[in-house]
Amino acid sequence: MAKLTILEFPDPRLRRRATDVESVDDTLRQLIDDMFETMYDAPGIGLAATQVDVHRRLLVADVSSEKDDPWALINPVILERDGVEVTEEGCLSVPGFYEEVERSGHIQVRFLDREGAEVEAEFTGLLAVCVQHEIDHLDGKLFVDYLSEAKRQRIRRRLVKDQRQRQHDAAAAL
Amino acid sequence: MAITKAGVRQRAEAAIAIDAVVTEGRSLDWALARADEKLDPADRSMVRMLCFGCLRYHWQLRAQLRMLLERPLKARDSVIESLLIVGFFQLSDTRVPDHAAVSTTVDAARLLRRPKYAGLINAVLRNYMRRNISESEAQDDEARFNHPAWLIEHLRKDWPDHWQQIISANNDRAPMWLRVNGQHMTAAAYQQAHAIDGQLLPGADQALRLEKPAAVDELPGFELGHLSVQDAAAQMAAPWLLAGHPDGVVRVLDACAAPGGKTCHLLELLGADADLTAIDNDKKRLTSIQENLARLGMDATVLAADASKPGEWWNGVGFDRILLDAPCSATGVIRRHPDIKLLRRQEDIHALARRQRQMLAALWALLNPGGRLLYVTCSVLVEENEAVVGDFLSTHTDAREDRVLHDYNIRDLMYDKTPGFQVLPGTQGMDGFYFASLEKVSG
């Protein structure tokens, strides 16, 4: 098990579109385990492979408070969606910022599970929101893209400033 | 994706607000208004509780922080020091379970975009519990009394027999007082009509102290203008000013009137024919007077005006009664505004006293012969109170102190000063106020 590094907005690698996973094997399962560890540690409720600089269509999620409802979705496709759910979303790639985003409240999704079996499942509420948020990542999209331009630019400036500060601190520590 | 638990957001917002007071010198009211914009209404009372507690016990909690941190954090991370204080306060003074206090406070570091401090916060809070730091002996007077050294010294000098009582009242929580609109009923009748759990105060017929604070707009009759929120000591001002006033029109000036609590009280007592002028220097705060008047269905002449420069606004017609609720250090209401202990500086007191003297002298010229001026502050400091009025009396031959009270039941609630009267904070649950009633005699 290993904790992975999460890319932070406005890193251009977050804008790459992920390609389908071709084979579900032990290497992929190791990546899934590492992604869960990274997500739980952050702490977050969902993580897309794009966020750890792996550009394959894979996401993990667990919205339970007991960390006992893990989902790993490989090559997920949304088949149907309806309803409206507004959630104050945050993102491990946009640390510290939380804004309301409107998404579908109910989705039907087809994906491969960690054994490579095809599954169709329905998600509602927070889990539905989370899966949509993560699929956006696989398409190179972030929740800040739903906000006003002014808000997005403000978040961008603040994060860039933080990142510079951290680099400066790291350099000073050497 | 990430979401924030309400508890984590509350701790983060409390730390931001406290940091704004401690390092930027903002008022707590300002900081809380900013926090409210980002908070669900349900989370606001917790944030208030944390902010008030951390500022009340600021010096003690900071001393504890110094015991646990090898060196202060970088200036730009001062918000993390405030967050640690929020953690200490929860562990020492609240019923928040220890594990919840630690986990929400640690997670708040991430919300404050300083995740690298999560480990440090966790370690410091665990040390706080393990070493029983909350029970440690205070090392100096500031930590022992939770006041700045200059203010402790000042209080000790002004109130040699009462300074510890004042300090202890300043660090208490303030009760919520209502003023029932006398045009509708007395406080006793209101309490009975609505079965309110509260205490009456002999000498203040309209005052009712609630046993438990309540959301004001949920109290029966608030929207109808039947009641206002106002401390019982502040409720003494209007009846005192008007005591013994003849029936019919009396011209009244309410100087430094915002937010209009005493203005409305005067109007409740004067009735519909009142000729009342309310002034305040702060244009923005005039709105609060207008809102209060509108809610109570009353009318007054409201002007943006400087009480120390009547030449700019006075029309030359004298007043029979003048209420001068002078800008002051607010050292009598520290329990309602614990940030005062951090924001006020010793040199402010001299500047305030100069301004109080200017205002008193300037407004005196506007008072008709036989008229009364009531000088009021919410300060407990001699320099702003009896020193101002005493010097005024000795330099103005047409002024004399009038010791008449509107209700002698209040006599025992106050300390006799020369001149004037002082209510100390905590007396019957009241705020600290100073009153001096001055009469204009033919000179």
Q: Answer whether A21's CB lies under 8 Å from A28's CB.
A: yes
Listed residue (B76, B330, B48) closest to B215, CA to CA: B48
Contacts of A46 in chain B (CB under 8 A): 1
| Amino acid residing at B310 | P
Selected for mutation to probe chain A from B1, B103, B112 (highest A CB count within 10 Å) is B1
Nearest CA in chain A to B6: A88
Domains and CATH numbers, chain B: 2-146 (1.10.940.10), 177-229 (3.30.70.1170), 234-440 (3.40.50.150)
Say whether A120 is catalytic.
no
Q: What is the pLDDT of residue B249?
A: 61
Q: What is the pLDDT of residue B409?
A: 87
Q: Which residues of chain B have pLDDT under 50?
A: none
Contacts of B77 in chain A (CB under 8 A): none
User: What are the CA-CA distances from residue B262 to residues A10, A138, B235, B424 (Å)?
Assistant: 55, 62, 7, 19
CB-CB under 8 Å, B1 with A130? yes
Q: Answer whether B385's CB lies under 8 Å from B417's CB.
A: yes
d(CA B276, CA B260): 12
Q: How many CB pairs under 8 A join A and B?
A: 47
What part of A 142-171 touches B (C-beta under 8 Å)? 143, 158, 162, 165
CB-CB under 8 Å, A45 with B2? yes
Q: What is the pLDDT of residue B246?
A: 63
d(CA B150, CA B36): 33
Q: How far is A24 from chain B (nearest CA, A)?
A: 24
Contacts of B2 in chain A (CB under 8 A): 42-45, 89-92, 95, 98
Query: One of A89, A115, A134, A149 is an active-site residue; which one?
Result: A134
Nearest to B3 among A47, A90, A158 (CB): A90
CB-CB under 8 Å, A87 with B3? yes
Nearest CA in chain B to A65: B5
Listed in order, strand segments (DSSP E) in B288-417 are 301-304, 319-325, 367-377, 399-401, 415-416
Q: Answer whether A127's CB lies under 8 Å from A89's CB.
A: no
Nearest to B113 among A87, A89, A95 (CB): A95
d(CA B85, CA B67): 12
Q: CB-based contacts of B287: which residues, under 8 Å, 6+ apart?
A: none
Q: CB-based contacts of A133: which residues, under 8 Å, 6+ apart?
A: A46, A89, A91, A101, A103, A143, B1
- Determine contact: A133 vs chain B, CB below 8 A: yes
Question: Within 10 A of A129 (CB to CB), how many other CB atoms are there?
Answer: 28
What part of A 105-124 touches B (C-beta under 8 Å)? none
Q: How far is B126 from chain A (nearest CA, A)?
A: 20
For residue A129, give both structure tokens: 């929101």
Contacts of A96 in chain B (CB under 8 A): 110-113
- Determine contact: A35 vs chain B, CB below 8 A: no
User: What are the CA-CA distances from residue A151 to residues A147, B36, B375 (Å)?
Assistant: 6, 19, 50
Q: How far is B67 from chain A (nearest CA, A)?
A: 25
Contacts of A87 in chain B (CB under 8 A): 3
Q: How far is B54 from chain A (nearest CA, A)?
A: 24
Q: What is the pLDDT of residue B247?
A: 62
Contacts of B3 in chain A (CB under 8 A): 45, 87-90, 98, 126
Percent of chain A with pLDDT over 90: 83
CB-CB under 8 Å, A129 with B2? no
Alpha-carbon torsion (B233, B235, B236, B237), positive or negative: positive
Contacts of A66 in chain B (CB under 8 A): none
Residues of B with CB under 8 A from a CB of A: 1-4, 76, 107, 110-113, 115
Nearest CA in chain B to A142: B1
CB-CB under 8 Å, B1 with A90? yes
The tens place of each residue's pLDDT in chain A, 174 residues long, gives 789 999 999 999 999 999 999 999 999 999 999 999 999 988 899 999 999 999 999 999 999 988 899 999 999 999 999 999 999 899 999 988 889 999 999 999 999 999 999 999 999 999 999 999 999 999 999 999 999 999 999 999 999 998 898 888 888 877
Q: CB-based contacts of B311: which residues, under 8 Å, 6+ apart?
A: none
Contacts of A43 in chain B (CB under 8 A): 2, 107
Q: Which helix (H) or strand (E) holds B88?
A: helix B78-93
CB-CB under 8 Å, A91 with B1? yes
d(CA B38, CA B304): 32
For residue B37, give both structure tokens: 């914009």
Selected for mutation to probe chain B from A60, A89, A136 (highest B CB count within 10 Å) is A89
CB-CB under 8 Å, A46 with B3? no
Q: What is the pLDDT of residue B244?
A: 80
Q: CB-based contacts of B1: which residues, under 8 Å, 6+ apart?
A: A44, A45, A46, A47, A61, A89, A90, A91, A92, A129, A130, A133, A134, A143
Listed in order, strand segments (DSSP E) in B225-366 are 227-229, 251-255, 275-280, 301-304, 319-325
Pairing of strands A106-112, A118-124: antiparallel
